[in-house]
């Protein structure tokens, strides 16, 4: 018998604080269709925490979420509500994606990563100076 492989994705990891515009749609238990607009609080590799000021979905319900990234790309995903925070001033819903995680990571999560500037290696400085000298010689 083969050992059961539980997939622990090495990439699942940090959540990034980022505010993308979102539209969430779901059906209430009574059949009412809800459309709520808000923003992400943070995004992770497999989910997001969203601020929905008007109405929150129930825990365990499925939500169709449309997220618009900084470059205007829109991505639609289906997510399950893991938990909600009914803070009157800032209601939040924690959503876990059901599939589509590769697209999510490529279009939403990875671009949200903080940009870290790394200085060029010291060897590069000398080469740049030499190339500037070469330019002067050709002028």
CATH of the domain at 52: 2.40.10.220
Question: In this model, does residue 6 exceed pLDDT 50?
Answer: no
**pLDDT at residue number 117:** 62
**pLDDT at residue number 137:** 52
Q: How many domains does the chain have?
A: 1
C-beta of residue 43 within 8 angstroms of C-beta of residue 16: yes
**Does residue 106 fall inside a structural domain?**
yes
Domain of residue 81 covers 16-112
**Does residue 47 fall inside a structural domain?**
yes
* Beta bridge partner(s), residue 33: 27
Whether pTM > 0.75 for this model: the answer is no
Q: Give the pLDDT confidence of 52-101 residue by residue, as tens digits.
A: 999 999 999 999 999 998 788 899 999 999 999 999 899 999 999 998 78
**pLDDT at residue number 7:** 36
Q: Distance from CA of residue 122 to its chain's centroid?
A: 35
C-beta of residue 48 within 8 angstroms of C-beta of residue 67: yes
**pLDDT at residue number 114:** 85
């Amino acid at each position: 018998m083969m050992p059961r492989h539980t997939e622990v994705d090495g990439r699942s990891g940090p959540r990034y604080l980022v505010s993308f515009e979102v539209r969430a749609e779901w059906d209430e238990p009574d059949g009412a269709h809800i459309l709520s607009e808000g923003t992400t609080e943070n995004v992770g590799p497999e989910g997001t925490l969203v601020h929905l000021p008007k109405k929150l979905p129930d825990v365990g319900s499925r939500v169709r979420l449309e997220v618009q990234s900084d470059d205007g790309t829109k991505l639609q995903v289906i997510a399950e509500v893991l938990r909600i925070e009914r803070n009157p001033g800032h209601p939040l819903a924690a959503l876990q994606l059901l599939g589509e995680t590769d697209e999510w990571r490529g279009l939403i999560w990875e671009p949200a990563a903080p940009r870290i500037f790394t200085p060029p290696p010291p060897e590069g400085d000398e080469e740049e100076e030499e190339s500037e000298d070469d330019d002067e010689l050709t002028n």
